[in-house]
Structure 1
C-alpha cells in the first residue's frame, strides 16, 4: 500500500510543481513590493464564483514612484546593506514588481529567481541575520530549486525554447 502511494505521488509532473513554486514565491515578493511603490491602483474583478474560493487581493498598484516610507526604511532599517539607500529603494521596489510578474509568466525564470534570491540574501545577511530559520530558508529553497531545475514546461521560457528549435 505504501509503495503504491509513493508511486502515485511520483507521477506529479514537474511542470505543475514548478508552476506552483513560481506562483507561491511570486506572490510573496509581489505583495511585498506593492507596499513600497505608489501609483494608480488597478482593480481586477473576477466572476463571483471564482472570488468566493480564491482569497487573493484582486488589485495592484502600477508603479509611478517609490513611497517616501520606502526610502526611509532603506536609510534606517536597511542601513547595513552595502548599497546606497536611495539606489537600494529603487532597485528593490522595481525588482519586487517586475521579477514576480516574470516568474508567473515563466519568462526569464532563472534570472528572476536569482534576482529575488539576491534580495533575500541581502535581507538575511544584513537586516535580519537571525531570521534564517523563519521564512527566509523557504524562499531560498524555492528560488534555488527554480534556478536549478528551471520553470518547467508550463512557461514562456519553454515555449520560446520550443519555438526557436523548430
Structure 2
C-alpha cells in the first residue's frame, strides 16, 4: 500500500481496526445474493401460507375466508368478494414470483402494499410483525432479487 492509498483509505487502529476487519469479512461472507434469496423465500412463505388458508383446491376461495373478510377484516371501500379473491390471488401469485426471482421489485411492492393495508385497517396492534415483513420487502424493493433469480437471467431490474 502506498502513502497515497493510506490517506485515501486509512485503516483505523486498535479495537476499531479489528472491528472494521471483521465487518469486512462478514460483508464478504454474507453477500447481497444470499440475503436477497433468503428474504425472497422467507417473505414468500409467510404470504403463501396465508393464501392457502383462504382457499380450497388451487384457488377456490372458501366460505370461511369470505366470513373473515366480512366479520373480522371489514376493509373499507372494497366489497368482501373482491377483497377475499384479490387477497387469495395476490398471496399466491406474488410469493411465487418472489421465489422465482421474477418481477421481484414489483412483487415486493405489491406485498408491501398489502402489509400496509393489513397494518392500517385490519391489525393495527400487530405492528412488530408487519414491521419485520416491511423490512424484508423493502430490502427487495431497494436491492432487487440478486443473481440467483430470473430477473438476472432476463436482465430485469
TM range (shorter): 0.7 to 0.9
Supply the distance in 1 between the matched residues of 2:35 and 2:79 (Cα, whole angstroms): 37
Question: Structure 1 length normalisation: TM-score?
Answer: 0.79
Deviations 1:35-90 (A, max 9, x none): 11111xxxxxxxxxxxxxxxxxxxxxx32x10110001111111134311110000
Supply the distance in 2 between the matched residues of 1:143 and 1:82 (Cα, whole angstroms): 26
Structure 1: gaps spanning 5 or more residues: 40-61
Contact 2:105 2:140 in 1 (8 A): yes
- For the pair 1:34 / 2:34, whether they are aligned, the reply is no
Contact 1:66 1:90 in 2 (8 A): yes
Find 1:140's aligned residue among 134, 139, 152: 134
Structure 2: gaps spanning 5 or more residues: 1-17
Alignment match, 1:20: 38
Find 1:96's aligned residue among 91, 98, 108: 91
RMSD over aligned CA atoms reads: 1.3
Aligned residues: 138
Alignment match, 1:4: 21
Question: Structure 2 length normalisation: TM-score?
Answer: 0.83
Larger Rg: 2
Deviations 1:7-44 (A, max 9, x none): 111112211110011011001111111111111xxxxx
Runs of 4+ with deviation above 4 angstroms? none
Structure with more of its chain in helix, by fraction: 2
